[in-house]
Structure 1
Amino acid sequence: MKHAWVVLCLAAAAQAGPPKPGTIWDASPNFTPSSRESSYNIDSIVIHTTEGVDTNGDGYFSESYTQAISWFNNPAAGASAHYVVAPWGEITQMVADDDIAWHATYYNSRSIGIECAGFAGKAGTWTPELVDALAALVAYLCDAYAVSAVHPAGNAYSYADSKYKGVGLVGHNQVQPWDRTDPGSYFPWSSLVEKVIALLAGEPPATPSIISPAAGAELGSSAVFLDWSWVSGIDYYYVVVYDVWGTAVFDAWPTVSSASASLASGTYSWYVWAHNAAGWSGEASSWFSVSTATPPAPTGLWPKWPDEGWSQSGPSVTLWWDAVGGATNHEVWVEYWDGGAYRYYHSWTTGSGSSFTFWPAAGAKWYRWWVRAKGSGGWGEWSEGAEFWWEP
């Protein structure tokens, strides 16, 4: 096939392990300098929620992210974490991995602390973007420090000294069950572990599914919205559109599961792949057509002399015409007879309907009118003119 070159160009170089996802460095003053792993072995990753106050009520918990960063930058807080993850997947690092952050009391020296923006008691905390970013970060840390990608059972109360001994991916509530509940019952432990294991094993992402345009779709606009299913654990997609001659007329590398293209009239095929640290997914493809021709001139105008009803009376006149497929707007042009010639009276731009009502100002006169339609390709031709008589 003519798109085979894309597959060849998408081949990724082999990697020793999952890469560290992009982070923003914002140093916290709250940490204990160290030289882990020589001074302490890192064997666990502790997952927290930032909590805070959702004052704007947006349900997206963006404030919880910024509040946590601000708090960890305050020396009076006496708290910090190595990383803070935003609902949209952004990651801020605040303490170096080899230093000790202050996030889980007695468990600090052996662990990496990750704060997730949101609330332990709210399911909406765990957006796909946050969970995927968290999985990518955890996979990197597991590989870098030989942390087991498991979620151990129990909590501090499981041990005689009330100090948790489990290793791997741990909840804050397991370390301090007496006063902490995060990351909470909504946290997707099974999904996180599966994603991390897949990234560590080097498994490519699942193949996306086409949502729209579906196969054979006929679009009436040059503005084409390409949409496909979200695939977890990816770092970006590649989407490309070809015309009937196999020429790529649009391509993009989005991190979200959609893209917008501007296309001329024609028939197109399109393809999308997902990518993660392990490589590329299978190919999803479909085809569609775009028609941006201007609409035809409207017909069936009424009132129209000498057809029945050509003589109108009353305070208003309603002009009718046959509906035009694909029309988004209409323009109506009206003239009146002044005794010697037709003169311009008024013009109006209307919606997609096939009628228009106006209130003539000059009575006992002949009127003449036209209408034209507008579609995705612009304005079409004017209709033939129609005349009628009107008196109050």
Structure 2
Amino acid sequence: MSGFLPDEPSAEVRVSPNFGPRRETTRPDMIVLHYTGMKTGAGAEALLCDPASEVSSHYLVYEDGQIVQMVRESDRAWHAGKSSWFGRTDINSCSIGIEIVNPGHSLGYRSFPKRQIDSMIRLCKGIVQRHSIPAQRVLAHSDVAPGRKIDPGEKFPWKALFEAGVGHLVEAAPVRRGAVLRTGDAGAGVEALQSMLALYGYGVEISGAFDRQTEIVVDAFQRHFRQRKVDGLADGSTIRTLERLLASARAVSPK
């Protein structure tokens, strides 16, 4: 990749060897956000550029707002791993991956600094504009790989991005006492829940049985869209928030 010029004008460049050509498509239509889950940003940058690691991302965003581009947007970075959205399993080929410096849940998960989020917003706006990425396809790693990944997690300020014009969000319904759907339940209510999750894009089987995979997907949904309480239980707040999200998606989708 001699002569690498950044797609994002404000980014520094450190080229990762861990990339390849996009498959099936030549154009990304999704952004996937990750946290690094390492002690330091420098350590994460080194890992993403180490050929032995076989992982990379298009961008890395430090806590002070510094942006490093490692793979061209036209190329396929190795960031999503085993994942799916709307039944598609080669997420690396259709996405731009952004790693956000944060130690993660295992090493001292913390809030994301404003400077970091401001840089994230500018970066995402540029990517969205360059590739006409729909708001509903700015996603968490946990959305496309539920259970296997939980990043960028329930502290990530999706609301700040949405208010700046990035991503898709609705106001979460209040958490109140009431009936919940949980592992072991079955019936029409569970089938309706699974159908709504699948209609938004999550990888869940519509079986009518609230199994472990359904619980994992509900947990992933909550980390992004109902962050106040993440427990994998489909309470009234979770279901109403999902209904609002689908209604909003239909309202903004091209006719």
- Range of TM-score over shorter length: 0.5 to 0.7
Q: Distance in 1 between matches of 2:34 and 2:166?
A: 20
Q: Distance in 2 between matches of 1:185 and 1:140?
A: 25
Q: Are 1:128 and 2:97 counterparts?
A: no
Mapping of 1:275-314 within 5 angstroms?
none
Q: Which has the higher contact order (CA 8 A, sep 6+)?
A: 2
Q: Distance in 1 between matches of 2:36 and 2:43?
A: 8
Aligned-partner residue type, residue 57 of structure 2: A
TM-score (norm 2): 0.55
Q: Distance in 1 between matches of 2:154 and 2:13?
A: 30
1:185 maps to: 154
2:143 maps to: 174
Tell me which protein shows more helix as a share of its residues. Answer: 2
Note if contact 2:29-2:134 (Cα within 8 Å) is conserved in structure 1. Answer: yes
Q: Are 1:114 and 2:120 counterparts?
A: no
Q: Distance in 2 between matches of 1:134 and 1:149?
A: 15
Q: Distance in 1 between matches of 2:55 and 2:166?
A: 30
Note if contact 1:30-1:75 (Cα within 8 Å) is conserved in structure 2. Answer: yes
Q: Distance in 1 between matches of 2:14 and 2:111?
A: 23
Tell me which protein shows more strand as a share of its residues. Answer: 1
Name the CA shift for 1:30/1:88 in 2 (closer, same or farther; >3 Å).
same
5+ residue gaps, structure 2: 1-6, 82-89, 168-255
Note if contact 2:38-2:104 (Cα within 8 Å) is conserved in structure 1. Answer: no
The count of residues paired between Structure 1 and Structure 2 equals 151
Give the number of the structure whose alpha-carbon radius of gyration is greater. 1
1:95 maps to: 71
1:47 maps to: 33
Q: Distance in 2 between matches of 1:129 and 1:51?
A: 19
Name the CA shift for 1:197/1:28 in 2 (closer, same or farther; >3 Å).
closer
Counterpart of 2:118 in 1: which secondary structure?
A: helix
TM-score (norm 1): 0.37
Note if contact 1:20-1:136 (Cα within 8 Å) is conserved in structure 2. Answer: no
Q: Distance in 1 between matches of 2:165 and 2:61?
A: 16
1:68 maps to: 44
Mapping of 1:1-392 within 5 angstroms?
20-34=8-22, 39-53=25-39, 63=40, 65-105=41-81, 106-121=90-105, 124-150=110-136, 168-197=137-166
CA RMSD of aligned residues (A): 2.2
Deviations 1:197-237 (A, max 9, x none): 59xxxxxxxxxxxxxxxxxxxxxxxxxxxxxxxxxxxxxxx
Q: 1:73 deviation in Å?
A: 1.4
